[in-house]
Amino acid sequence: MAELADFLNDGSEQASARILDGDPATEIRGFASLAGAKDDELVFVRDAAHLAALVDCVACAVITSPGLDVGARAVLRSARPAHDFSRLVEAFVPSRRPPAGIEAGAHVDPAATVDPSASIGAGARVGPGCRVGSGAIVASNATLVADVEVGRDAWIHSGVVLREDTRIGDRVILQPGVVVGGDGFGYVPDAEGRPVAMAQRGRVVIEDDVEIGANTTVDRATLDETRIRRGAKIDNQVQIAHNCDIGEEALIVAQTGLSGGTIVGRRAVVMAGVGTTGHLRIGEGAFIAARSGLHHDVPDGARMFGAPATEERSWHRTVAALRRLPELLKRVRRLERRVEAEASLPSSERGDASTPAPSAGDAGRDDASGGDSGRD
């Protein structure tokens, strides 16, 4: 455990955030989840909500937040336990990297340039004019069509397709099945009203430290650039349409679809299943909840929910009101039947006009008076 503590306290980050409690000589042979840990492994507990799962866990050591009681175990305390746990796994259980060189069965065009320290897997194709940087990996059956640049230490996994003129920065990771630089979905009617594809002659630029999940597609711009900026993280099965601009360190979660020309600000978070109309802007640091539908610009720092998407407080009020709607409808129907019944009576038999029956509006006010759950 002392070695792990020293690694985390190497001075590159906040050393004061990592404190070792318990026996520093505790020997760690692996890393595991709470459910599957052995008695010689290290686990992490993010917060108190996960303590119950630790009761039956036999792991001898834990990395967790300051102040949490995890029993008689060796403990590394960190302000960011999940992050530090990941750092340890990355350092001590490295991923398998193929050796440098061009594997038998790969096709590298004579007009391509591949750094000697790069790796090109069997079945991969590196087309004319392509440039593959130092330490980069182009895995089996990946395709670089033509004039593609891949930066140093990038990892292009199996089945990735990089179309013409695509630019990939340093340390970019593209998971299997990613397609970058396909034609955008742009059609205009001809003289007879038939849809005709607009020419797509732009390119895609992916900056350093971007990661893109499996089967995500990033379309080339019509004329200029579709750009994914430094450090952005994009999940599986996301559609980034032509001319989009994804900000630095933005997060975009699975099955989101961004229409053409959408701009996503720096460190914005777009959760799963979001859809946007084209040419709108999601502000810096904004949060878009899962399955929201955006039809207008989103200010910096805003939190949007629902379809059509509305500001968070308004959305919570709407949801609270919807939960009360069935009972409100019952009240309205009862009032309608009462009004109809009284209208059919002779005037001498009707209720005292000085004491009117409750109206539908009264019912709404009665309902709203108990609606504190919808307030902020």
Residue 71: which CATH number? Answer: 3.40.1390.10
Let me know whether 288 and 145 are in one domain. yes
Angle at 115 between CA 113 and CA 116, to 5 degrees: 125
Range in 13-27, 39-53, 130-144, 180-194 the model is least confident about: 13-27
Range of the domain at 77: 2-92
Which pLDDT belongs to residue 300?
Answer: 98
Is 64 in contact with 75 (CB distance < 8 Å)?
A: yes
Q: CA separation (Å) from 365 to 51, 165, 269, 353, 371?
A: 45, 62, 38, 22, 10
Any domain includes 27: yes
Residue type (1 letter), 124 = A
Q: Is 275 exposed, middle or buried (0-12, 13-18, 19+ CB in 10 A)?
A: middle
Amino acid 367: pLDDT: 43
Provide the percentage of residues in the chain whose pLDDT is more than 70: 91
The CATH number of whichever domain residue 286 belongs to comes to 2.160.10.10
Res 306: pLDDT: 95
Residue the block writes with tokens 């009101």: 321
Helices (H) and strands (E) in the chain, counts: 5, 38
Q: Is the dihedral of CA 22, 25, 27, 30 positive or negative?
A: positive
Instruction: Tell me the mean pLDDT in the region 114-140.
Output: 98
pLDDT band at 67 (very low <50, low <70, confident <90, very high): confident
- Flag whether pLDDT at 369 surpasses 90: no
Answer yes or no: is pLDDT of 356 > 60.
Answer: no
User: Does one domain contain both 6 and 151?
Assistant: no
* 159 shares a domain with 61: no
List Cβ neighbours of 261 (8 Å cut-off, separation of 6 or more). 241, 242, 243, 244, 278, 279, 280
Verify that 302 and 333 share a domain, yes or no.
no
Count of domains observed in the chain: 3
> Is the domain of 295 the same as that of 327?
no
Q: Mean pLDDT lowest for which of 167-181, 258-272, 308-322? A: 308-322
> In the listed set 257, 291, 311, which residue is the last one of a domain according to the structure?
311
The predicted pLDDT at position 370 comes to: 42
Confidence category of residue 374, pLDDT binned at 50, 70, 90: very low
Average pLDDT, the chain: 90
pLDDT over 80 at 14, yes or no: no
pLDDT of 366 over the 70 cut:
no
Tokens 């007879």 identify what position?
192
Provide the annotated active-site residues.
242
For residue range 284-340, list pLDDT tens digits in order.
Answer: 999 999 999 999 999 999 999 999 999 999 998 988 998 999 999 999 999 999 898
In the predicted model, what is the mean pLDDT of residues 153-170?
Answer: 98
Query: Do 163 and 258 share a domain, yes or no?
Result: yes
Omega before residue 98 within 30° of 0, cis? no
Taking 70 as the threshold, does the pLDDT of residue 11 lie above it?
no
Same domain, 212 and 302: yes
Q: Does residue 120 sit within a domain? A: yes
> Do 150 and 207 share a domain, yes or no?
yes
Q: What is the pLDDT of residue 55?
A: 86
State both tokens at 230: 């430094």
Kindly report the CA angle at 202 between 184 and 140, in degrees rounded to 5? Answer: 75
Is residue 97 in some structural domain? no
Is residue 16 a part of any domain in this protein?
A: yes
Same domain, 188 and 78: no
- Dig out the tokens for 89 from the structure: 């796994």
Helix, strand, coil proportions of the chain in percent (round to 5)?
20, 25, 55
pLDDT above 60: residue 373: no
| Comparison of pLDDT for 349 and 46, the residue scoring more | 46
Please tell me the predicted confidence (pLDDT) of residue 140. Answer: 97
| Tens digit of each residue's pLDDT (9 = 90 or more) over 201-219 | 999 999 999 999 999 999 9
Domain contains 340? yes
Q: Which residues touch 92 (CB under 8 Å, ≥6 apart)? A: 31
Alpha-carbon distance of 314 to 52, in angstroms, equals 35
Looking at the whole model, is its pTM more than 0.75?
yes
